[in-house]
Amino acid sequence: MSMQNLYFFCKNIKIYISTALILVTVVIDDQANADPPHRNADSVFVNPYIDEGARKPNLLDKVWWKFKYYMIQRPLVNDNFEYAVIPPEYVNPPERFNSGAVTWVGHATFLVQIDGLNILTDPVWSERVGLLNSRLGLQRQTAPGIPWEKLPPIDVVLISHNHYDHLDYPTVMQLEQEHQPVFFVPLGLSDLLTGWGVTHTIEKDWWEGDSINGVKFIAVPAQHQSRRAIHDHNTTLWSGWVIEASNHTLYFAGDTGYFPGFKKISKRLGPIDLAMMPIGAYDPEWYNALYHVNPAEALQAFIDLDARYFAAMHWGTFDQSEERLSDPPRELLRAARRMGVDQDRLWIFAFGEKRAIPSRLPEETITIQYDDKQ
């Protein structure tokens, strides 16, 4: 072999080895990114990151707690907190908004206005949520921040799971009748909505997405469960949603416990500009810890997500747990001080408050180049 041939042989072998190494890294990385299976052999959905069997509260303990809490304990709790509310006459969401804004309605309901699309997350306007089409169940403690008649045309609805405080039959049907939006739902929920008479549903497994007018909606993992009746436990999936718009990426967590998925979401779909995070329904810990983050865990999730802003939700609306309804934001701010998170990044909304999502680039870095030959 001449010197020249030897040179090219060595050069090529270097390229082959580098390519092989890159391929191996991609495959290993993909395997590390893949979730463990989230459906078992009986087609029941499971939380892949925890051994639920060992820590799951049993049904009898849950029923007894509910009886004790709602009948004896809660009537004795005095929570005279004055919630910050934008007076309804000042709540006027624009018909369309291009650059990105969110308005908090209450609980897990946000109106997201971005790239000209109007999106609702887990919409609930009912006075109660629960059985018999929400005639029986938890009573709303604070009015919806946007009066129904002031809603702009709704294009897309994101549903995180089938619990009554997130999937409210009367609200879904009123949206269907007046707005005909596209309902994005996690795996297994499309049949329920279609059975109710909803015409346009898009059902997604974790990491699957679809676009509407250039905005992409991607279902992402959450650690939770589902149930609407005695026999249907975990027969439909639960998820968060990532909204990829032209200049912003938003994350809506739905209902979730603290789990390693937050880091994966950031790695696969970040950078995230705004994370809509639940902070309420965490006490008692034995009942809630697997499936609901507490404020400190929500903040840790926010750190894992590497998001810029935190929009607090899932508090102040339905009394579902032992902490006082007004406790979660105070606990969140305490946790932020402890964990060294800048409080300006935490958005604790008044009911009906709208906030614009700041641009990713500071103003001074935007430069306009003029062509001096013209």
Minimum gap (Å) between residue 256 Cβ and Zn ion = 9
For residue 157, the SS3 value is: strand
Place of tokens 């934001």: 329
Report the residue number, 111 or 293, with the smaller CB distance to Zn ion: 293
Minimum gap (Å) between residue 45 Cβ and Zn ion = 13
Exposure letters 67-99 (e unless 16+ CB within 10 A, then b): eebeeeeeeeeeeeeebebbebeebebeeebee
Contact 351, 86 (CB under 8 A): yes
Q: Does 163 bind Zn ion (CB under 5 A)?
A: yes
Minimum gap (Å) between residue 313 Cβ and Zn ion = 13
Task: Select from 73-81, 185-193, 254-262, 317-325 the region that touches Zn ion (CB under 5 A).
Answer: 254-262
Report the residue number, 309 or 315, with the smaller CB distance to Zn ion: 315
**Closest alpha carbon to 176 in 164, 193, 188:** 193
Report the residue number, 292 or 354, with the smaller CB distance to Zn ion: 292
The number of residues that bind Zn ion (CB under 5 A) is 2
Collect all residues with Cβ–Cβ distance below 8 Å to 309 and sequence separation of at least 6: 273, 274, 275, 345, 346, 347, 357, 358
Task: Select from 11-19, 33-41, 162-170, 329-337 the region that touches Zn ion (CB under 5 A).
Answer: 162-170
Cβ atoms within 10 Å, residue 157: 25
Minimum gap (Å) between residue 147 Cβ and Zn ion = 26
Minimum gap (Å) between residue 188 Cβ and Zn ion = 15
Give the span between the Cα atoms of 116 and 95, in whole angstroms.
Answer: 9
Q: What 8-state DSSP symbol labels residue 350?
A: P
Give the span between the Cα atoms of 225 and 160, in whole angstroms.
Answer: 11
Binding mask 115-154 vs Zn ion (x if CB under 5 A, - otherwise)? ----------------------------------------
Report the residue number, 97 or 184, with the smaller CB distance to Zn ion: 184
Minimum gap (Å) between residue 29 Cβ and Zn ion = 32
Report the residue number, 113 or 171, with the smaller CB distance to Zn ion: 171
Torsion of CA 190, 196, 199, 204, to 10 degrees: -10
Report the residue number, 96 or 227, with the smaller CB distance to Zn ion: 227
Hey, what amino acid is at 44? Answer: V
Report the residue number, 163 or 264, with the smaller CB distance to Zn ion: 163
Give the span between the Cα atoms of 163 and 276, in whole angstroms.
Answer: 18
With 0-12 CB in 10 A as exposed, 13-18 as middle and 19+ as buried, what is 195?
exposed
Report the residue number, 21 or 44, with the smaller CB distance to Zn ion: 44
Report the residue number, 55 or 360, with the smaller CB distance to Zn ion: 55
Minimum gap (Å) between residue 224 Cβ and Zn ion = 6
Q: Which of 122, 168, 176, 255 binds Zn ion (CB under 5 A)?
A: 255
Hey, what amino acid is at 102? Answer: V
What does the chain come to in residues? 374
Helix (H) or strand (E) holding 169: helix 169-178
Q: Does 168 bind Zn ion (CB under 5 A)?
A: no
Minimum gap (Å) between residue 160 Cβ and Zn ion = 8
Task: Select from 150-158, 159-167, 168-176, 268-276 the region that touches Zn ion (CB under 5 A).
Answer: 159-167
Contact 311, 277 (CB under 8 A): yes
Task: Select from 156-164, 258-266, 316-324, 363-371 the region that touches Zn ion (CB under 5 A).
Answer: 156-164
Minimum gap (Å) between residue 38 Cβ and Zn ion = 16
**Closest alpha carbon to 144 in 169, 171, 179, 182:** 171
Task: Select from 3-11, 13-21, 247-255, 336-344 the region that touches Zn ion (CB under 5 A).
Answer: 247-255
Where does this chain bind Zn ion (CB under 5 A)? 163, 255
